[in-house]
Structure 1
Amino acid sequence: MAIQRAVPGPGQESVWDYPRPPRVEPSRERVVVRLGGEIVVSTRAAVRVLETSHPPTYYLPAADFAPDALASAPGASMCEFKGRAAYLDVRAGGVIASRAAWTYPSPLPGYESLRGMIALYPGAMDACEIGGELVRAQDGDFYGGWITDRIVGPFKGAPGTLGW
């Protein structure tokens, strides 16, 4: 099946122009995440990971999260590029989003800037915003991409896209 790539308009990026292996780059836009009606994190010190066919995944400084918002959760996974991920529960406003975040305690070479950073599944939060724009979650339950109007696909993650 041929993938029908969307053509980016002015000010947009295509996920099909992102590299593999992924690139990590800083983002100075304000990122705000809410859960349980509370702000879990607000930062201008995010980094985003850009990988072919995926919306960007935003990693936020652990130090910028509200006190007690993060707790260790069971399980781990392995990324061939970034290394071993550990999972976290996110807690705020009486709500617990189980295994809704992950981090790379000892990232592989080339991804050291992810140390001390936390990624979240935007679909597990009440809301995630980038520069005031509400984020849409990437389809599927494995990837944690953040979709905004500035990003065009199609995006990996939906049923039938595993082989992309």
Structure 2
Amino acid sequence: MNGYSNTMPSHGTRKYNVQSFPRPPVVERTNRHIQIKWHGQLIADCPPGEAYWVLETHHPPTYYIPASTVRMPLATTPRSTFCEWKGTATYYSMMSPISAAETISNRIWSYGEPQKGFEPIKGYLAFYAGPWECYVDGERAHQQPGDYYGGWITQDIEGVVKGQWGNWDPVL
């Protein structure tokens, strides 16, 4: 553990300031219940203690869930990206649970061979917080600004969040 307790007190006052998150980032198991809904249907349900979160300076947490908790089939896409910390990401597409005509691509990713320190998320899936609805312990999460990174913002996240201007660091 790196000092970022991921259990919320019952009164919900615990706050996480993204400016205090580490760089390089860390990956930790989280006790949070992660759910993803699309068109009102539950498409992923990850019980507390089965997900990981990656914490990095100026980023809200990015959640990684086991593929077994996703209830919809995924197909790989040609897209890949490289993260200096985690390695090469593979991206996926998913068909809507209500219409085969609606497929969303490149909003889900994973690391098949993550770099040292990130081995726990090998094969785990991360979702952008849209177009579906993403929930952390029942609270709807919002997307990190700028659509460049995949962090989820909840009420317990505070501080200056990176992303509005791509990968540029915020000016404090």
TM surpasses 0.5? yes
Higher RCO (CA < 8 A, seq sep 6+): 1
Shift, 1:160, TM fit: 7.7
Aligned to 1:48: 53
- C-alpha separation in 2, matches of 1:46 and 1:162: 28
Structure 1, unpaired ranges of 5+: 1-8
- C-alpha separation in 2, matches of 1:160 and 1:117: 24
Please give the per-residue CA displacement for 1:89-140, whole angstroms capped at 9, x wherever unaligned: 1333224221110100000111000112000110221x11100111011111
- C-alpha separation in 2, matches of 1:10 and 1:67: 35
Shift, 1:163, TM fit: 3.3
Aligned to 1:23: 26
Check conservation: 1:38, 1:92, Cα contact below 8 A.
no
- Aligned pairs for 1:1-164 within 5 A: 10-44=13-47, 45-68=50-73, 70-93=74-97, 94=99, 95-125=102-132, 127-159=133-165, 162-164=168-170
Task: Identify if the C-alpha distance between structure 1 residues 160 and 41 changes in structure 2 by more than 3 Å, giving closer, same or farther.
Answer: closer
TM-score after normalising by structure 1: 0.88
Aligned with 2:104: secondary structure? strand
Structure 2, unpaired ranges of 5+: 1-11
Check conservation: 2:72, 2:94, Cα contact below 8 A.
no
Deviating above 4 A after TM superposition, structure 1's stretches of 4 or more consecutive aligned residues are none
Aligned with 1:113: secondary structure? helix
- C-alpha separation in 2, matches of 1:161 and 1:77: 13
Amino-acid identity (%): 38
Aligned with 2:59: secondary structure? coil
